Amino acid sequence: MTQLVLVLDATIVNVALPKAQIEFGMTDAERQWVVTAYVLAFGALLLLGGRLADVWGRRRSFLTGMIGFGAASIWGGLSHTSVELISARGFQGAFAALLAPAALSMLTVTFTSGKERARAFAVFGIAAGSAATIGMALGGVLTEFVGWRWCLLVNIVFAVLGVLGALAFMKESKANDHHGIDVWGAIVVTLGFAGLVYGLTLAQSGWASIGTVSFLALGVVLVAVFVVIESKTRYPLLPLRVLRNRTRAGAFIVQAVVGAVYIGSTMFLAFHLQTVLGFSPLVAGVASLPMAVTTMALASLATRQFERFGARYVMAAGLLIAAGGMFYLTQLTVDGSYWAQVFPGLLLIGIGLAFVIVPVQNVGLAGVPWSDAGAASGVVGSSMQLGGSIALAVFMTLFVETGGGYGRGSVAGYAAVYLAAGIVLVAGAILSALLVRRAPDAGSSEWDGENAVDWNQRSSSTEASASSKW
């Protein structure tokens, strides 16, 4: 539920923005900041949120994040000015950065091996993979029938359920061998990610502008400085051992590709349905659902194939199928029908991504030490957010450069975006095949060098001694 609402919130507000802009008299720049404020705070603070979950306690971080997210949603839903709305979205993103890694790391340390772990991560992945399109549909329904403010206020329901569920079922867990936070690392990486994400939002209006180049360069330099800090500090915010494993690194790259597809290209689907085909927001939201429904319907099959064949070839095949769906969408025309030109492509994308999102987070967190679960979960979230931000900036530039606009003459721009998205998916499939190794039991083992090591043995040795090597 947590993963669903956090990803859903990145898209549900998009449907409400036109009416919110009219009510508050927002400029186009202010309207964009309603989206940017959430993504910027979320992406910049994810690594810090993940480490706080490890050190402070995952259940405590989850509760704090859920309560804060609900409160920020109420503020945004009841806001009276554009400044209030943008500020509330920023606070939503900040609390989401605490909430997301706490939820994922809790899953990691609760389901430690076997088919149970594979199925738990399948449910989690399906929630993440379907949330973007569900957000568009739910946003259309709420905006149409009860008002745009309920696109924010609906989070109250999720927050209450989340808090009650955590109090009733979650047990506290944290890294007992870590007693500090890398403050300088936290400051540097937060500013670095903020620079990258903000620079990418500026890139949508010009890659060569001074602002774009300056913020991107600043972000790259600060991330490099962060890596140096992490290699020397006693209690790193992100232990570099999390990234050294080739299979895990491959999973993080695939996660970034998934973010590029969901965050970077779904917005253009909404544009095409509304500006070219003339659908209302409600109908456009419902028309985007086949992708999510197909992904959810195939979750069980994808889980069985993952358990049988391992992640390497299942993810590569899924990415190629999804790429086929993107390539299919390149043949959109102004007078084409939804059922002939859009629906088949959405089905292919939904089928393909079912076989990617089921194993990718499981693989990315397989064998991660108990004490690093939150930090690794932060990397998973950061990969998706940065992948989506980069893709959104690149796709928007491509859309504009190929003659895309906001009317019926924008079809060429959409075709260029879907072609680029398909190429990204093919590249992800190649990297998945090259980097991800297959362990004897992908659900229960750690890829440590060439050998798979049983998680439970590792976990026991870690709890027994803080000096255990991974």
Strand pairing partners for 25?
Answer: none
Encoding tokens for residue 171? 């047990």
Task: For the beta carbon of residue 2, count every other beta carbon within 10 angstroms.
Answer: 26
- 208 three-state secondary structure: coil
Report which DSSP code applies to 439. Answer: P
User: What's the CA gap between 193 and 299, in Å, rounded?
Assistant: 32
| CA distances (Å), origin 312, targets 35, 117, 207, 426, 439 | 34, 17, 35, 14, 9
Q: Which residues contact 136 (CB under 8 A, 6 or more apart)?
A: 11, 12, 14, 15, 266, 270, 284, 285, 288
Q: Which residues contact 298 (CB under 8 A, 6 or more apart)?
A: 350, 351, 354, 355
Q: pLDDT tens, position by position, for the chain (470 residues)?
A: 898 888 888 778 877 787 898 899 998 778 878 887 888 888 889 889 998 998 889 999 999 999 999 999 999 999 999 999 999 999 999 999 999 999 999 988 888 877 888 888 888 888 877 887 788 888 888 988 899 999 999 999 999 999 999 999 999 988 776 567 888 998 999 899 889 888 887 887 788 899 999 999 999 999 999 999 999 988 888 888 888 888 999 999 999 998 888 776 777 887 788 778 988 878 888 898 898 889 889 988 998 898 888 899 999 999 999 999 999 999 998 888 999 999 999 999 999 999 998 889 888 888 888 778 888 888 888 888 788 878 877 888 888 788 766 666 678 888 999 999 999 999 999 999 999 975 434 333 333 333 333 333 333 343 333 333 32
Domain residue spans of the chain: 2-181+235-464, 182-234
CA 256 from centre of chain: 8
- What was the pLDDT predicted at 409? 64
The CATH number, out of the four listed (3.30.460.10, 1.20.810.10, 1.20.1250.20, 1.10.10.60), of the domain defined by the range 2-181+235-464: 1.20.1250.20
| CA distances (Å), origin 241, targets 13, 86, 236, 237, 315 | 37, 37, 11, 12, 24
- What was the pLDDT predicted at 15? 74
Q: Are 270 and 282 in contact (CB under 8 A)?
A: no
User: What's the CA gap between 340 and 249, in Å, rounded?
Assistant: 38
Tell me the H-state helices in 146-176: 150-153, 155-169
